[in-house]
């Protein structure tokens, strides 16, 4: 008994690339996963996975079984959400990944509010700036701050992410306030090295683009740290407003080059390309879009 559950376990094993990892992702003992697989294989009378002690690979039958089964499981998920009463409180687990700074600053509050609306839900968050593979890690949802062009993933915009150039008043008093992007060459710059580029781009009020190659004094993979360094007077930081807004509101940081436009990014909720999103995930995304939207709290009441 439990055909469907066996199928789901099998799918997870295939996508996680092994029984151990699948067991982790499913929060199951590996013995249980192993047994479900054996059950499935004996019921079908077919070997689905060739497993050595080190690697698991699909057999030919396993491959075609996987392709068929994934569709059906998807169909059932669809049927469930279609006929499930949307008024009942959600339950189950949402596994998600979020970037460190954005996650801790803003997502955590939002999810706290969401959990109060749906106390039966379990949320499992992986805060990290590394690139996560949704399918392989069995996640329902991840947040990306980017200009998405890819991919096999489906994305929904959660919010605009603005950037701003700023420094502490002390620093500006000592080193002067730059008036043009090229002035930055004579300043101490603080750079976020996960942005994928070491070039800062500006567009002036005539629409002309200016670029400078950043040779930074402090380089880090954490925007909060860079912001703190800027507050401490270590130089000029190119910072997303969701990180620096409080320091700016408090006067600890002063925006500079405000007449220039900086490239905008967007925060996305991305999820795997299953045809149908589970209801709980969809409701969470709706909640976040509603909460952040085009005018998120950190960009309100502030004129940069």
Instruction: List contacts with DNA (CB under 7 A).
Output: 1-2, 5, 18-21, 27-32, 34-39, 51-56
Q: Tell me whether residue 68 is exposed, middle or buried, using C-beta atoms within 10 angstroms of its C-beta: 0 to 12, 13 to 18, 19 or more.
A: exposed
Tokens (6 digits) for 189: 């710059």
Q: Which does 79 bind (CB under 5 to 8 A by kind): a copy of itself, DNA, none?
A: a copy of itself
Residue 210's SS3 state is strand
- CA-nearest of 232, 245, 274 to 75 is 274
C-alpha 138/C-alpha 24 separation (Å) is 10
Burial label, 285 (beta-carbon count in 10 A; 0-12, 13-18, 19+)? middle
Helices (H), 195-278: 223-231, 241-249
- Which of 256, 128, 259 lies closest to 206, judged by CA? 259
Q: Which of DNA, a copy of itself, none does 20 bind, CB closer than 5 to 8 A by kind?
A: DNA
| Nearer residue to a copy of itself within complex by CB, 83 or 152 | 83
Nearer to DNA, 73 or 285 (CB): 73
According to CB under 8 A, which one of 24, 61, 126, 204 is a site residue for a copy of itself?
A: 61
71 or 185: CB nearest a copy of itself: 71
Per-position x/- string for 83-122, each x denoting binding to a copy of itself as judged by CB under 8 A, each - no binding: xxx-xx----------------------------------
The residue from 29, 32, 38, 79 that contacts a copy of itself (CB under 8 A) is 79
Contact at 8 Å (CB) between 132 and 233?
no
User: Pick from 29, 32, 38, 46: which binds a copy of itself (CB under 8 A)?
Assistant: 46
Name the residues that contact a copy of itself, by CB under 8 A: 1-5, 43-46, 61, 64-65, 68-69, 71-72, 75-76, 79-80, 82-85, 87-88
């Amino acid at each position: 008994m439990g055909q469907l559950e066996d199928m789901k376990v099998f799918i997870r094993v295939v996508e996680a690339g092994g029984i151990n990892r699948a067991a982790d992702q499913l929060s199951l003992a590996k013995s249980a996963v192993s047994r479900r697989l054996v059950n499935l294989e004996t019921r079908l009378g077919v070997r689905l996975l060739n497993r050595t002690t080190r690697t698991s690979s699909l057999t030919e039958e396993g491959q075609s079984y996987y392709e068929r089964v994934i569709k059906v499981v998807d169909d059932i998920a669809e049927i469930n959400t279609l006929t499930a009463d949307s008024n009942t409180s959600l339950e189950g687990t949402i596994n998600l990944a979020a970037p460190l700074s954005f996650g801790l600053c803003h997502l955590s509050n939002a999810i706290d509010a969401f959990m109060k609306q749906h106390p039966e839900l379990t949320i499992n968050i992986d805060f990290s700036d590394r690139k996560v593979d949704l399918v392989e890690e069995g996640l329902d949802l991840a947040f990306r701050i980017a200009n998405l062009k890819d991919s096999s993933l489906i994305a929904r915009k959660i919010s605009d992410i603005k950037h701003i150039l700023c420094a502490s008043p002390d620093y500006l008093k000592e080193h002067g306030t730059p008036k043009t992007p090229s002035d930055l060459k004579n300043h101490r710059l603080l750079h976020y090295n996960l942005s994928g580029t070491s070039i800062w781009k500006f567009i002036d009020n005539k629409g002309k683009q200016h670029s400078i190659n950043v040779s930074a004094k402090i380089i880090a993979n954490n925007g909060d740290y860079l912001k703190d360094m800027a507050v401490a007077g270590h130089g000029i930081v190119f910072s997303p407003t969701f990180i620096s807004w409080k320091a700016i509101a408090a006067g600890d940081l002063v925006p500079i080059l405000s007449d220039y436009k900086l490239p905008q990014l967007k925060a996305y909720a991305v999820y795997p390309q299953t045809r149908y999103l589970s209801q709980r995930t969809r409701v969470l995304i709706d909640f976040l879009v509603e909460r952040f939207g085009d005018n998120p709290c950190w960009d309100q009441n502030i004129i940069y």
